Amino acid sequence: AGMAGAFLMEIRRGTQSALLVIRYAAAELPSAPVEVSVCADSLEVRSGGSCDAAALPAGVRLAPSSCRGLRRLRGDGLHLRMRLRRPPPAADVVFTLRESLKRNKNYIFYCQSCGDIVVKDRKFLRVLPLPSENWSDLVEEWCCHPDPFARSTLHPQHGDCFVGDTYFLLNSGNESHKSKENTKVICKRCKTMLGERVSSDSIKYYVTEVNIQPAEGSFSPTPRSQFIQSMVAQCLLELSSAKSTFRFTIKGDNGKTYILIWLLNSDTLLVESLGSSSSHNDFTLFGDIVTPSSGPVGAWNAVKVLYQPCIQCRNKELADAWENDMGVHPLKFPSETCLELLLILSLSTTSLPPSLRCMNSFQV
């Protein structure tokens, strides 16, 4: 704490390389020369009579002899690239949404925002994946005769849970959360939109709005921004892995496009001195996700994306082009959640050094 050059390190597991930024605000540029010492497991910054050091998290080991490209960027601080001595431990394998639910086990669905019980003590006999949202658009490309599925609908029975890209489809059973005005399914306690009623006996619950826990356990709340980031990142990783698609449109339940997202990589490990000058309004790179017992240095597994906001008709031409591109995958969430995600992305961008916030015309 109090390190004059608070630091941010972006590590790529795939290339075993790291970018180190030792951050100085413009008003804090030291008058005396700065000496940076890079050791395998620590960093040290000397300036004048002061010396600040920080130990790196376990598993992160640098190759000091590989340091290169030292430069100072106004408003950023000192930039330095280096290799790793060995790759850091692999990130936890992201489980799929379908694998998070086990057959013949009782679950309770809670409202993620307030913790109220939405679906009580439900046992699933079948947990099955649904085709992608735009699967019917592809049928014409594969069939030489009229669409054989045009009149088919998939309705879950009481013991079924169908898993879509961004939602769970359940038989409505005795649950009654339907809004009187429309088909929206809302939380009785906090009035948050949880999903939609898609038929008289089927309800769609969005993965960003419900927290699913085994019935024998107790409800453990997760901070909202952390939950949204975790679920959206999981959706991006699953789809990019299964379909080799890396561009996504984030759409609201009102049909509007809110964000364009381009997935860059998922092998990033961020190491940051907590409480550093990168924290604006107590928001570090990934908000409230802190490695337990991480001390003054935090480490986060991160998904790196490029994005463009589309609210208030911004980037309309690009959004229209993506809309008509079969290589772009649409992801649908409640409109309020789309705005929350856009705010989270914006805060994450502003917490980065200025030189790392943009790539071409996209924000990082």
Q: Could you report the average pLDDT of every consecutive run of 10 residues in the chain (364 residues)?
A: 68 95 68 85 85 88 95 90 90 70 92 94 92 68 74 83 94 66 87 93 95 87 92 93 93 96 95 59 44 65 96 94 94 97 96 94 97
For position 97, what pLDDT does the model report?
Answer: 74
* Cα–Cα–Cα angle for 6, 7, 10, rounded to 5 degrees: 165
pLDDT the model gives residue 23: 85
Gap between the Cα atoms of 257 and 316, Å rounded: 9
- What letter would DSSP give residue 213? E
Provide the token pair at 226: 């952390």
State whether the Cα torsion 27-29-30-31 is positive or negative: negative
d(CA 263, CA 258): 16
The pLDDT, as a whole number, for residue 355 is 94
Q: Are 168 and 162 in contact (CB under 8 A)?
A: yes
DSSP state of 34: E
* CATH code at 105-214: 2.170.150
pLDDT at 51: 82
Report helix, strand or coil for 149.
Answer: coil
pLDDT of residue 289: 45
Strands 160-163 and 7-12: unpaired
Cα distance between residue 167 and residue 185, in whole Å:
13
pTM score: 0.88
Helix (H, G, I), strand (E, B) or coil at 11: strand
| pLDDT tens readout for residues 108-119 | 999 999 999 999
Separation between Cα atoms, residue 353 and residue 5, nearest integer Å: 13
Domain ranges of the chain: 105-214, 223-265+303-363
